[in-house]
Amino acid sequence: MQSQKESLRLSPSAIACYYECQRRFFYRYIKKIPERPTPQLIRGRITHKVLENFFNFVSLVDIKHDDWEKLWKDFKNGLISLLNTEWNLIGKEYADCFEGEKEKKEYYEETKRFLDFYAAKLAFSLSDKVKDLNRNSTWFEEEVRKFFFPRDRELKLVLEEENFSGIIDKTMSLFDDSIAIVDYKTSKSALPHYIPDSHLKQGKSYAYLWKKHFDIMPKHISFYYLRTGESVFYPISERDIQEIENDIVEIRNKKQILEEFPKNPTRLCTYCDFFGNCFANKTKSDFIKEIKN
């Protein structure tokens, strides 16, 4: 018979889910009840794939100038062409979960906007950097590469003994040889310059994974919010690593029964696939009224 640790694989997303609602964690990770893919989820996967592939497309030779508008146009064209390739795989490699062509088109146009903004920001910061560098220096390429190219992309890390794994979107080398972990987010953020608690929990879990895997502390975790182009960072400390260690111990010490994982009723329940399991006799509108009171 499998032990609790063998049967329950944890990940940064699982830790964030546990933090948001333990009952949902129970249904999703212990009972493994399948959930319907949503347009947000599919768009998120496509966007991650586009950004992963983008750096294969960019050549350092093309960025030896500092004309940011030209760079913007080039980056934008590359990103949109990668987006079109992935978007055409909806219904094949990605589930077609859109309500109809209208909704699908709206999501496509919105994603194009995010990527255009990403291209503009990247082009501007890169051109600014290139201005400060000596193009004839033998270090030029290395410096641009370090500033601009990810050190890792979609890096899967597995802690076999702990049965814990995760995929890190991107890491960047910092100038003191430490690294920053970058997590892309396509979801809405409640406030500007703000990291929602569940995102922070997930980010700390990536840092935990990195620390345990390489025995090196990442310097910080950055969240890049594609909707707004905001990048918000959080410096990682030993306390954060300990916090995640405690979460894992807490989860692993629980019996895998429903009663051990309480519900957390919030407005988010109305978007949750398990609403019917949790509130079988309630309509969503009655539920919202109760939450407000």
Does the footprint of ligand SF4 cover residue 95 (CB under 6 A)?
A: no
Q: Under DSSP, is residue 94 helix (H, G, I), strand (E, B) or coil?
A: strand
Phi-psi domain of 163 (left: phi exceeds 0; alpha: psi -120 through 50; beta: other): left
Does the footprint of ligand SF4 cover residue 33 (CB under 6 A)?
A: no
Does the footprint of ligand SF4 cover residue 19 (CB under 6 A)?
A: no
Q: At what angle do helices 68-87 and 101-132 cross, to 10 degrees?
A: 150
- Range in contact with ligand SF4 (rule: CB under 6 A) among 2-10, 51-59, 106-114, 257-265: 257-265
Does the footprint of ligand SF4 cover residue 287 (CB under 6 A)?
A: no
Nearer to ligand SF4, 95 or 258 (CB): 258
φ, ψ of residue 133 to 5 degrees: the values are -100, 155
Does the footprint of ligand SF4 cover residue 45 (CB under 6 A)?
A: no
Q: Which residues lie below 8 Å from residue 262, measured CB to CB, with a gap of 6+? A: 22, 23
- Range in contact with ligand SF4 (rule: CB under 6 A) among 104-112, 147-155, 205-213, 272-280: 272-280
Binding residue count for ligand SF4, defined by CB under 6 A: 12
Nearer to ligand SF4, 22 or 53 (CB): 22
Q: Which of residues 102-121 bind ligand SF4 (CB under 6 A)?
A: none
84/251 Cα distance (integer angstroms) = 41
- Range in contact with ligand SF4 (rule: CB under 6 A) among 130-138, 178-186, 252-260, 267-275: 267-275
The nearest distance, CB 288 to ligand SF4, in angstroms, is 12
Does the footprint of ligand SF4 cover residue 261 (CB under 6 A)?
A: no
54 within 8 A of 224, measured Cβ to Cβ: no
27 within 8 A of 261, measured Cβ to Cβ: no
- Range in contact with ligand SF4 (rule: CB under 6 A) among 52-60, 68-76, 135-143, 273-281: 273-281
Does the footprint of ligand SF4 cover residue 14 (CB under 6 A)?
A: no
Provide the β-strand partners of residue 225. Answer: 185, 230
The nearest distance, CB 269 to ligand SF4, in angstroms, is 3
Does the footprint of ligand SF4 cover residue 265 (CB under 6 A)?
A: yes
Q: Which residues lie below 8 Å from residue 251, measured CB to CB, with a gap of 6+? A: 8, 10, 15, 18, 25
Q: Which residues lie below 8 Å from residue 219, measured CB to CB, with a gap of 6+? A: 174, 176, 178, 179, 180, 235, 236
Nearer to ligand SF4, 4 or 264 (CB): 264
- Residues forming the site for ligand SF4 (CB under 6 A): 21, 23-24, 263-265, 268-269, 272, 274-275, 278
